[in-house]
Structure 1
């Protein structure tokens, strides 16, 4: 800690934002100097799925002469500690076959147990090793899978699973002994449409986890229509070719299970081609709001009115369409406070010929600031799906990883192999002041594919964030973080109790540093919610990178349903701190 300094000041969020704006307009060279001298060619990730025992192939089921729309969109992935042993396990959502033929083997979802704890106890701490425990756990759903949500819906201390499908979804209750029980019928949450991304969240601030399900088209084989790509060859259609938009579902948890409150909450008033979802208290009024990324239709921001209903305010709020007034192909989405002012911004991935979009939150209203961030140019040539902002190199600044993959064959790059839809993923390094710089793919050798779901978390518990990527019709990828560490880190594991969920809490880390003989206090904000990216559920723990010269001076939490912060115990860096609500 710094004990002497001639001056003391506290940088408030609005001052930080203004300072960032001044730097932005006074010269990008200044920002470039803040990359801590790291070589832009130095890899930050290393692909290790096979070496770690994570052996799994996604199957779309699409024959070469058929282009049914759902077959280009899967599959999903979750990182969760299903057995409560302290490390992250991996659940992979399989697509399979929309109409299985007689005698055809139906591939199922798979659960891989992380054996790191067991290996360490046995004297062999050689990194994460995974074992397939699907049959023993009872979570091998055979539906045409899409996305997944993880959360402790019954408050018994273990993680439950909800899986979306093209067709009835599945709800698996964790029994606390390594097995799950299918409660779909009992809880009445099967739905029957084409579910995509999904999230557990507390919609009515009663402390219990409700469930939001995003639906895409009202799809059936009968609505399929022939489409050609720009080379006039048969290919997958745009969702707008079908004119079959669907509405999303909000299940509210009651005493005996879940009830569909979609009509009562007003969700029936807005239909779209839904793909992504993320939940947060974007307007800091104490309740949880819902953002839905729609494909080629305006996005929806469901403002929680706190009076048992929601209102779509995306258009009035400035986040329904881009800065030109055009609806974009929304896929992955995340609430993230990029400029660290205490208001959660929005980032979304889009299709080729559209930039990914960054909406800055200005006290509850949004502005498309993509062109000011450096996140636009590289994304125009690619189609983004899964994504996540994290401080990968522990320098106190958020970075961004985007998983890409085409939905139409634009012309195969032979270096990418036989997959006509393969594209390289992208890594952006945060420069501070809401600016980013591309680091290419972020790996020493090319890692390309038709990437879809991407989940983020510290799989080996070494203090940095790794990535699991699902590629359509290819092997899963485990990207272990090998980025040179600039600073140190701190993690927080918020734990709810019965009818007091921690999902949706906001954690603030306060640090001090000496700048020009003045002590400056900075804050970083993290949202404790695993539901972001695309078809994914992520590490529920929040993670902070701490730059050199910064001392931790405070750790605070704002629990869901509240507008007040609570100061937590004095944190220790280099570890995960459990906090019980």
Structure 2
């Protein structure tokens, strides 16, 4: 495969610079880890039969892999970003969530063949966000995996400045692509699993959006204080990172500065 993300020789906008994610998981429950690779696209686009797609590689148990993307129902083209794995419906098969600049995608695993169900599940997003990292996590310990989605910046290609326009598009007198500084950070999203295949946006209820304006990238979950409740760490670009402490009541508090993990 060829990993595509923006122009080859020139990258005019920040959307062309961030790269894509990868997941290693056993999609067919044969006991061997397989590989899923997120792919991007370009501003110029492609002919229909040449468009880049995400790829799923099946482990052949002999040190080699076979591309089973089409067979598994995972062909998709767009500004792919991150991916996370989790069995959100507790059926014993790992599912996939893929983030995009645009609509995100949830792939339900039907015994090795996937069905895209993001809209039905309430996880597609607005279609205007630039989502990056994500993680499945049972934040309320009810036995159902919830979903945390990080968002980078509010970016509109039709109004985006080009290199040299504005103070954020110049570096030491040299025109550069704009951002992330000078752009507006986007809020992160927390979805609660209702246990019926659908999710509810509890971002405000959980106080996730009380920490706003960050350029969020990667997401990790951990119980950093050993209180038995999962917390969420979000690595950010150019601004302090976020450590959401789980308050054990359905809400979170950003304690990154106090914990010493906000800056690097």
1:3-18 aligned at under 5 Å gives the runs none
Q: Provide the rounded CA distance (Å) in 2 between the counterparts of 1:202 and 1:75.
A: 25
Q: Provide the rounded CA distance (Å) in 1 between the counterparts of 2:249 and 2:48.
A: 52
Q: Provide the rounded CA distance (Å) in 1 between the counterparts of 2:122 and 2:55.
A: 24
Greater Cα offset, 312-321 or 101-110? 101-110
Q: Given the superposition, is the C-alpha separation of residues 313 and 70 from structure 1 closer, same or farther in structure 2, using an over 3 Å criterion?
A: same
Secondary structure of 2:220's counterpart equals strand
List runs of 5+ in structure 1 lacking aligned partners. Answer: 1-55, 117-126, 323-581
User: Please, what TM-score do these two structures have when normalized by structure 1?
Assistant: 0.42
Contact 1:273 1:295 in 2 (8 A): yes
Aligned pair 1:148/2:66, yes or no? no
- Structure 2 residue corresponding to 1:285, chosen from 227, 239, 244: 227
Higher RCO, Cα 8 Å, sep 6+ = 1
Residue of structure 2 equivalent to 1:376? none
Residue of structure 2 equivalent to 1:220? 156
Q: Summarize deviations over 1:295-354 as a string: whole Å, max 9, x none.
A: 1111111110011111111122222224xxxxxxxxxxxxxxxxxxxxxxxxxxxxxxxx
Residue of structure 2 equivalent to 1:189? 123
Secondary structure of 1:316's counterpart equals helix
Q: Provide the rounded CA distance (Å) in 2 between the counterparts of 1:75 and 1:202.
A: 25
Secondary structure of 1:262's counterpart equals coil
Residue of structure 2 equivalent to 1:482? none
How well do the aligned residues superpose, as a CA RMSD in angstroms? Answer: 1.8
Residue of structure 2 equivalent to 1:105? 50
Q: Given the superposition, is the C-alpha separation of residues 259 and 267 from structure 1 closer, same or farther in structure 2, using an over 3 Å criterion?
A: same
Residue of structure 2 equivalent to 1:372? none
Contact 1:98 1:144 in 2 (8 A): no
Q: Summarize deviations over 1:366-401 as a string: whole Å, max 9, x none.
A: xxxxxxxxxxxxxxxxxxxxxxxxxxxxxxxxxxxx
Aligned pair 1:269/2:188, yes or no? no
- Structure 1 residue corresponding to 2:98, chosen from 152, 159, 163: 163
Q: Summarize deviations over 1:478-507 as a string: whole Å, max 9, x none.
A: xxxxxxxxxxxxxxxxxxxxxxxxxxxxxx
Q: Provide the rounded CA distance (Å) in 2 between the counterparts of 1:209 and 1:169.
A: 17
What's the CA shift for 1:103? Answer: 5.8
Q: Provide the rounded CA distance (Å) in 1 between the counterparts of 2:58 and 2:35.
A: 7
Contact 1:62 1:68 in 2 (8 A): no
Secondary structure of 1:240's counterpart equals coil
Q: Given the superposition, is the C-alpha separation of residues 265 and 99 from structure 1 closer, same or farther in structure 2, using an over 3 Å criterion?
A: farther
Aligned length: 254
Residue of structure 2 equivalent to 1:301? 243
Q: Provide the rounded CA distance (Å) in 2 between the counterparts of 1:63 and 1:151.
A: 34
Contact 2:89 2:195 in 1 (8 A): no
Residue of structure 1 equivalent to 2:109? 174
List runs of 5+ in structure 2 lacking aligned partners. Answer: 164-168
